Amino acid sequence: MTACSARVGESLSSPRTRRPGVVHDKALGPLAALAGTKGRGDGGALSRAAGFSLLEVLAAFVVLALVGTALFRIFSGALGNASLSDEYSRATLYAESLLASPGVETPLREGTQQGTSDDGKYAWTAQIAPYRVPGSTPDLDAAADLMQVRLWHIGVTVRWPGVAGSDRTMALTTVRIAPKELTP
């Protein structure tokens, strides 16, 4: 075969080194052309179809489903925690406002008061009692009773409905000094 009679895509190499179905490159030789022919048999037909098998696709879907489920649980847990944090923040603000009102809006008197918030979500209980120093002696208590001011222990407990019928609770306490009220 001469160079003039060769067909397009054929090289001038000997028939012994040429493989059927393989396009030979004149400049690089038959080995360079073989590097790009993975999966081709001697007959030139594809011995294995390109793409993924059904088993590989199913395995990928299982992995994707597991990762998606884990991410969904993480995000739903984060949303639940954000909601719970908001409830605790509102209850804390409500309890702080209730702690600030005795002695300012209402006089400090020993007793217990109860009520609910304006929206009806939070129920509260406020307890006001004279403060006694832990480990005090009767002489120290008698001296404290003679003073013109008194220490008051104020405690506020706020309750609101939680998950599955359980109540959530926030309790704050403080000690406040105030002049003694003269009782008739």
pLDDT (0 to 100) of residue 112: 92
Sign of CA dihedral 143, 180, 134, 175: negative
**Sheet containing 167-179: which strands, arranged edge to edge?**
111-116, 123-130, 149-161, 167-179
Which pLDDT band, with edges at 50, 70 and 90, does 29 fall under? low
pLDDT (0 to 100) of residue 89: 92
pLDDT tens, 53-100?
999 999 999 999 999 999 999 998 888 889 889 889 999 999 999 888
Between 33-37, 48-52, 156-160, 166-170, the lowest mean confidence (pLDDT) is in 33-37
Greatest alpha-carbon pair distance for the chain in Å reads 134
Q: Distance between CA atoms of 98 and 31, rounded to whole angstroms? A: 88
The set of residues, in sequence order, having a beta carbon less than 8 Å from that of 175 and lying 6+ positions away, is: 131, 151, 152, 153, 154
Q: Which residue has the higher pLDDT, 175 or 182?
A: 175
Q: Tell me the average pLDDT of the chain.
A: 78
Judge if pTM exceeds 0.85.
no
Percent of the chain with pLDDT over 70: 71
DSSP conformation class of 67: H
Q: Distance between CA atoms of 31 and 37, rounded to whole angstroms? A: 10
pLDDT (0 to 100) of residue 79: 86
Question: Over 80: is that where the pLDDT of 36 sits?
Answer: no
Which pLDDT band, with edges at 50, 70 and 90, does 158 fall under? very high
